[in-house]
Amino acid sequence: MAFTLSIGAAAPDFNLPGVDGKMYSLADFKGAKALIVVFSCNHCPYVVGSQERMKKLVTDYAPKGVKMIAINANETVNHPTDSFAHMKTEAAAKGLNFAYVRDESQDVAKAYGALRTPHYFVFDGQRRLCYTGRMDDNPREVAKAKTHELRDALDAVLAGKTPKVTATNPIGCNVKWKGKEEHWMPPEACDLV
């Protein structure tokens, strides 16, 4: 069985604390025509390079019925800047316009099969996975991006179609798992394509 959630699979539920003091679950997004779940963090340069694009994506697609939630599951012993306290500071400093929540147990990251930060999962209105992978081919430098898989997938889902590309390999730092060395990945984790 693959580590990462398969296309067509149902979104695993969660109940996670947000930096805004609220608890979030799938029910909080029940009206969304599409839902983006992205595994993120504070320190990864690929996330930092993508944050403004993430905010712009939410601004562009929220009027179309799209919602996004970012989940930080990184361990904090060796990565203290990924702590919940730092998440609150980061969200305020960056003016994040989407929910940002903490997966302290890493159970949600395992349920989704998150590989890297950022790793995007796009679900349709029935919360079936339609796309997983990267935002585009250059998360650190927007001017050099030549592809736009995440936006393409959202456009397809909103049109009631299957995205032409349903999976790409996420580009970024690997998720930092508790009790493991910094670059460890689960043995069943592999490239998506």
Tens-digit pLDDT profile for residues 59-104: 999 999 999 999 999 999 999 999 999 999 999 999 999 999 999 9
Q: Are 175 and 186 in contact (CB under 8 A)?
A: no
Q: In angstroms, rounded to a whole number, what is the distance separating the alpha carbons of residues 6 and 191? A: 13
Length, in residues, of the chain:
193
> Can you give the pLDDT at residue 107?
97
| pLDDT tens profile 11-27 | 999 999 999 999 999 99
Phi/psi class of residue 72: alpha, beta or left (left: φ > 0; alpha: ψ in -120 to 50)?
Answer: beta
| pLDDT tens profile 122-150 | 999 999 999 999 999 998 888 899 999 99
- For residue 177, how far is the Cα from the chain centroid? 16
- Of 9-23, 108-122, 170-184, the range with the lowest mean pLDDT is 170-184
Number of Cβ within a 10 Å radius of residue 45: 12
> Can you give the pLDDT at residue 122?
98
| pLDDT tens profile 28-41 | 999 999 999 999 99
C-alpha torsion sign, points 111, 167, 175, 42: negative
State the virtual CA torsion across 84, 130, 7, 121 in degrees, nearest 10.
-10
pLDDT band at 181 (very low <50, low <70, confident <90, very high): confident
- The architecture CATH gives domain 16-174: 3-Layer(aba) Sandwich (3.40)
- For residue 49, how far is the Cα from the chain centroid? 14
> Can you give the pLDDT at residue 183?
80
pTM of the model: 0.96
Closest CA to 137 of 174, 170, 163, 113: 170
> Can you give the pLDDT at residue 85?
97
What are the residue ranges spanned by the domains of the chain? 16-174
Tell me: pLDDT of 3 over 50. Answer: yes
- 142 three-state secondary structure: helix
Provide the terminal-to-terminal Cα distance of the chain, rounded to the nearest Å.
15
> Can you give the pLDDT at residue 141?
86
Which residues are registered as beta bridge partners of 16? 24
